[in-house]
């Protein structure tokens, strides 16, 4: 089996497993919806205030929802021995890691992207800012999954690695949060956001290039 065939097989396998446990996939989405909808109740229902805070609220909620789903990325494979078999297989481990991260993004990041415009309407996000919100989520949520995979790989062998995982990945998430929320705010004000999108694209390219190798190395350390 070629590396590409192994990539496809692992992607299909992970998507099937996620489908069989789809009740667990609803938790991050429900968390995302609950966090966003509670802000008007806790701060103010005034339209002007909600317009200002909407980009930051949606992005913080998306970031926390992505973190909530990270623990399932390698945990089940580690517990049933599949992860060790992947590490011992003749296929490139970084490519297999990329397949798992892509499957994780399809079932967690993509639904967040689809829900965001509806929640933006709930928070009175200006219509001209909605395309910017979708673009930033499209560029930013894969970065969250790729960076988060490194932290999960380092803590997969620990029984209570949730707190350590948060400490590892949250500082690395901050640039994505800053540039993405700023892009939506700038778009709402009617200004171009080319610079912010270029920076998010650069972060995505860097993550796609380096994160699979870093995650593979971290998995080998955790399995040793």
Q: What is the pLDDT of residue 20?
A: 83
Query: Residue 173: CB partners within 8 Å, gap ≥ 6?
Result: 63, 67, 144, 147
Q: Per this entry, what is the length of the chain? A: 224
Q: What average pLDDT does the structure give for the chain?
A: 89
| Angle at 176 (CA atoms; ends 193, 211), nearest 5 degrees | 125
Which of the 8 DSSP states describes residue 108? I
191-208 average pLDDT score: 95
Question: What would the pLDDT profile of 117-161 be if each residue is shown by its tens digit?
Answer: 999 988 889 888 999 999 999 999 999 999 999 999 988 877 766
pTM of the model: 0.91
Do residues 119 and 137 touch, judged by C-beta distance below 8 A? no
Domain count, the chain: 1
| Angle at 193 (CA atoms; ends 191, 197), nearest 5 degrees | 175
Do residues 175 and 203 touch, judged by C-beta distance below 8 A? yes
d(CA 202, CA 199): 5
Q: Is pLDDT above 90 for 26? A: no
Q: Is pLDDT above 90 for 101? A: yes
Q: What is the percent of the chain where pLDDT is above 70?
A: 98
Domain that holds residue 217: 3-223
Q: What is the pLDDT of residue 161?
A: 64
Give 180's Cβ-side CA count (13 Å radius): 33
**Block residue for tokens 């350390």:** 221
Question: What would the pLDDT profile of 33-78 be if each residue is shown by its tens digit?
Answer: 999 988 888 887 888 888 889 999 999 999 999 888 887 788 888 8
């Amino acid at each position: 089996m070629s590396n590409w065939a192994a990539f496809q097989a692992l992607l299909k396998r992970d998507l099937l497993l996620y489908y069989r446990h789809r009740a667990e996939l609803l938790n991050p989405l429900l968390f995302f919806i609950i966090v966003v909808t509670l802000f008007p109740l806790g701060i103010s229902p005034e339209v002007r205030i909600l317009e200002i805070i909407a980009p930051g609220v949606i992005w913080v909620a998306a970031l926390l929802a992505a973190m909530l789903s990270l623990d399932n990325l390698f945990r089940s494979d580690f517990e049933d021995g599949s992860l060790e078999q992947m590490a011992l297989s003749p296929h490139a481990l970084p490519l297999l890691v990329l397949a798992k991260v892509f499957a994780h993004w399809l079932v967690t990041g993509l639904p967040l992207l689809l829900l965001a415009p509806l929640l933006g309407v709930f928070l009175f996000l200006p219509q001209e800012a909605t395309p910017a919100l979708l673009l930033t989520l499209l560029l930013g949520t894969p970065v969250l999954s790729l960076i988060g995979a490194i932290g999960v790989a380092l803590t997969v062998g620990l029984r209570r690695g949730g707190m350590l995982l948060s400490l590892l990945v949250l500082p690395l998430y901050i640039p994505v949060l800053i540039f993405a929320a700023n892009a939506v705010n700038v778009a709402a004000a009617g200004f171009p956001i080319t610079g912010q999108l270029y920076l998010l694209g650069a972060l995505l390219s860097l993550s796609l290039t380096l994160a699979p190798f870093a995650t593979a190395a971290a998995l080998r350390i955790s399995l040793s």
